[in-house]
Amino acid sequence: MREYFIGIVVIIISLLVLVLSIHTLTSNETESNTSSIQWGNDLNQAMEEAKKSNKTIFIDFYADWCSYCGEMDEETFTDPQVKEKLTQNYVLLKVDVDKNPDLSSKYRAYSLPTIVIVDSSGNEIKRIIGYQTPEQLLSQI
């Protein structure tokens, strides 16, 4: 009976190690996919940077529960042409609507994903709503 119990414990521990290993690998892949784009999270700081660099601000409104937002992180924002155009032409800001409800309301980001491009004073220039493939996004920015 004791050998049976030890066998069950070994199997459970092995399964836990396997699950944790898989989770770590997938987390690292997601982080590395979007890590080459440096996203800010403070609008005031982004406006200051935009004034200094004479760029507009690209705001990506998202939520962790939004599957299309995750797809854009994994597919659209990892595209080399998209990354190049974004980093060269915009100050980049990523806003979690659940953590920043006031800013989300200010820019009426009610449907996700929503991208709002604003000038250095925070005035809206353009709005893009919904999932965008790399080609679709490139044609609009």
| Contacts for 74 with CB less than 8 Å, ≥ 6 apart | 30, 33, 34
Reply yes or no on whether 69 is catalytic. Answer: yes
Question: What span, in angstroms and rounded, lies between the C-alpha atoms of 130 and 109?
Answer: 11
Question: What span, in angstroms and rounded, lies between the C-alpha atoms of 23 and 45?
Answer: 34
Q: Which of 69, 91, 97, 115 is catalytic?
A: 69
Q: CA dist 110 to 45, 50, 74, 91, 93, Å? A: 24, 25, 22, 22, 17
Reply yes or no on whether 66 is catalytic. Answer: yes
Q: What is the pLDDT of residues 28-51, one digit of tens each?
A: 444 444 457 899 989 999 999 999
Question: What span, in angstroms and rounded, lies between the C-alpha atoms of 107 and 38?
Answer: 22
Cβ proximity of 57 and 91 under 8 Å = yes
- The secondary structure of residue 117, as a DSSP letter, is E
DSSP code per residue over 43-100: HHHHHHHHHHHT-EEEEEEE-TT-HHHHHIIIIITTSHHHHHHHHHHEEEEEEETTT-
User: Whole-model pTM?
Assistant: 0.72
- Region of 69 (left: φ > 0; alpha: ψ -120 to 50; beta: rest) is alpha
Q: Which of 46, 66, 82, 86 is catalytic?
A: 66
Digitized pLDDT (tens) for each residue of the chain, 141 residues in all: 777 667 676 687 776 554 455 555 554 444 444 457 899 989 999 999 999 999 999 999 999 999 999 999 999 999 999 999 999 999 999 999 999 999 999 999 999 999 999 999 999 999 999 999 999 999 988
